[in-house]
């Protein structure tokens, strides 16, 4: 499973070296890309022109991690690995719509936006440090963006989740319905659940339709939804794998191997 090996490779790099790893991966696979440096971080962009260039789809996966002592295998190296694999696939494939893949920086700052201590001005300043905001803010023709996907927590679980809500922001209902239909037709376990705030905040800021998706153990997801119905949305009832967002590589690989075994039989 190539994604698993990419996750291992990423996690062997220090926090400061992960951008370098992504860039080297793209160079080694002859994938054209651009590096966007801004005051607080670095974004990496891949654009694959489609047959219809009037509309564009964008995929975000943040490459920054929580701190130097955590490998960030589930949050969010697994999502980076998935998008790197998609980029390799697109090298030989012409999509219908133009596809933008963005490895963005400083997503981990989002958690501090809604601190009670932060003023409106402070919250605005934090948002402007986030890589997804910086990327979209520098795009000349935003109206071309048809839909946006954010990949988060993609490494642990036997089920897909599609985010009904991210923090206090509603995800696009029609887009989630479309994803649900695909998952159902492919006989893939899937759930619609609220998650914590993510890069959807930047997507919403610029008025683009979008959603967040990743993976979760199906039973944990079902229990999470049951608890939500009883208690409402709060951090204390997050699924176990989300309480450990910054999962160690060892735990992630064990879960990936279980999924490999399930779907290879």
> pLDDT value at position 66?
78
Domains of the chain, each with CATH number or no CATH = 2-264 (3.40.630.10)
Tell me the angle at which helices 18-28 and 2-11 cross, rounded to the nearest 10 degrees.
140
Identify whether the C-beta of residue 81 lies closer than 8 Å to the C-beta of residue 74. no
> Is-cis flag, bond preceding 158, omega within 30?
no
pLDDT above 80 for 105: yes
82/155: higher pLDDT = 82
Q: Is the dihedral of CA 14, 256, 197, 213 positive or negative?
A: positive
pTM: 0.88
Between helix 2-11 and helix 249-264 the angle, nearest 10°, is: 180
pLDDT over 60 at 251, yes or no: no
Tell me the two tokens of residue 138.
């520098």
Lowest mean pLDDT among 34-48, 73-87, 208-222, 246-260: 246-260
Alpha-carbon radius of gyration of the chain: 18
pLDDT at residue 265 in the model:
47
Q: What is the DSSP letter of 171?
A: P
- Cβ atoms of 149 and 132 closer than 8 Å: no
The predicted pLDDT at position 142 comes to: 77
Share of the chain above pLDDT 70, in %: 86
Res. 232: pLDDT tops 70: no
Q: Among 12-16, 97-101, 157-161, name the one with the lowest average pLDDT.
A: 12-16
pLDDT in tens, 163-196: 999 988 999 999 999 999 999 999 999 999 999 8
Categorize the per-residue pLDDT at 208 as very low, low, confident or very high, splitting at 50, 70 and 90.
very high
Contacts of 80 (CB under 8 A, 6+ apart): 6, 10, 18, 22, 61, 63, 103
Residues 53-72 have pLDDT tens digits of 899 999 999 999 877 767 78
The answer on pLDDT for 229 being more than 90 is: no
Q: Please give the backbone phi and psi of residue 257, each rounded to the nearest 5 degrees, phi first.
A: -65, -35
Band of pLDDT at residue 123, cut at 50, 70 and 90: confident
Rounded mean pLDDT of 98-114?
A: 90
Which residue did the predictor score with more confidence, 135 or 141?
A: 135
Pairing of strands 41-48, 159-166: unpaired
Mean model confidence pLDDT for the chain: 87
Residue 221, class by beta-carbon neighbours within 10 Å (0-12 exposed, 13-18 middle, 19+ buried)? buried
């Amino acid at each position: 499973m190539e994604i698993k090996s990419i996750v291992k490779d990423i996690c062997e790099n220090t926090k400061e070296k992960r951008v370098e790893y992504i860039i080297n991966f793209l160079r080694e696979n002859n994938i054209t890309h651009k590096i966007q440096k801004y005051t607080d971080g670095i974004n990496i962009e891949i654009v694959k022109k489609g047959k219809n260039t009037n509309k564009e789809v964008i995929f975000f996966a943040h490459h920054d991690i929580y701190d130097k002592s955590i490998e960030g295998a589930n949050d969010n190296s697994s999502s980076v690995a998935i998008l790197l694999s998609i980029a390799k696939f697109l090298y030989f494939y012409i999509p219908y719509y133009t596809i933008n893949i963005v490895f963005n920086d400083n997503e981990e700052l989002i958690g501090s936006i809604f601190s009670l201590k932060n003023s409106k001005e402070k919250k605005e300043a934090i948002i402007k440090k986030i890589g997804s905001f910086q990327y979209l803010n520098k795009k000349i023709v935003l109206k071309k963006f048809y839909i946006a996907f954010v990949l988060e927590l993609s490494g642990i679980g036997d089920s897909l989740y599609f985010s009904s809500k991210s923090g206090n922001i509603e995800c696009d209902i029609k887009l989630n319905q479309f994803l649900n239909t695909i998952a159902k037709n492919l006989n893939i376990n899937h759930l619609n659940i609220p998650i914590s705030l993510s890069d959807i905040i930047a997507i919403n800021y610029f008025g683009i339709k979008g959603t967040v998706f990743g993976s979760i153990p199906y039973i944990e997801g079902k229990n999470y939804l049951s608890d939500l119905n009883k208690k409402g949305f709060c951090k204390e009832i997050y699924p176990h794998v989300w309480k450990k967002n910054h999962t160690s590589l060892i735990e992630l690989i064990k879960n990936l191997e279980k999924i490999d075994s399930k779907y290879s039989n």
